[in-house]
Amino acid sequence: MSKLKCEKGSILGPWGHQWPDDASPEPKIGFLQGILQWLDYHIKKINDDYKNRESFSIFKLKPNIDELHSILKERKGNWIHFNSLPFYPNEHFQRNHLLIDKNQEINQKTIKYYLSFQSLTTEI
């Protein structure tokens, strides 16, 4: 997301690939209310409180060994909100031999993938 020049935001919760106002496990969030706030601010030019919100919201799971199964009514944890993401070298870059230069940008290399019946191999 660091390359985007437009306004950006992200919501990461404990749900699967479902809408967060109807998903399971809880906590559910008012996703549609968030869309209305976005529309009010960007389209109707009202709701000045929207520009003061944090850009990123992440549900931090409370570690609990008893919850390590997939059928849960609610996940325990808390929401954390912030305006910028820290940059950490991504293991994907290391795994694929991509280098991050001093400007924190990815050194572009072409990676060729070969698929066989035995394994997935790469050639750089």
Q: How does strand 56-61 pair with strand 77-82? A: antiparallel
pTM across the whole model: 0.57
Please count the other Cβ atoms lying within 10 Å of the Cβ belonging to residue 13: 21
Q: What one-character-per-residue DSSP string does 76-89 give?
A: -EEEEEESSPPP--
Q: Please, are residues 62 and 111 in contact by the beta-carbon 8 Å criterion?
A: no
41: helix, strand or coil: helix
Check residue 44 and give its pLDDT. Answer: 92
The 10s digit of each residue's pLDDT in 37-81 is 888 988 998 877 887 888 888 888 887 656 666 677 788 888 888
> Which of 11, 26, 19 lies closest to 67 in space, CA to CA?
26
Check residue 84 and give its pLDDT. Answer: 77
Q: What percent of the chain has pLDDT over 90?
A: 1
Whether residue 114 is predicted with pLDDT greater than 60 in this model: the reply is: no
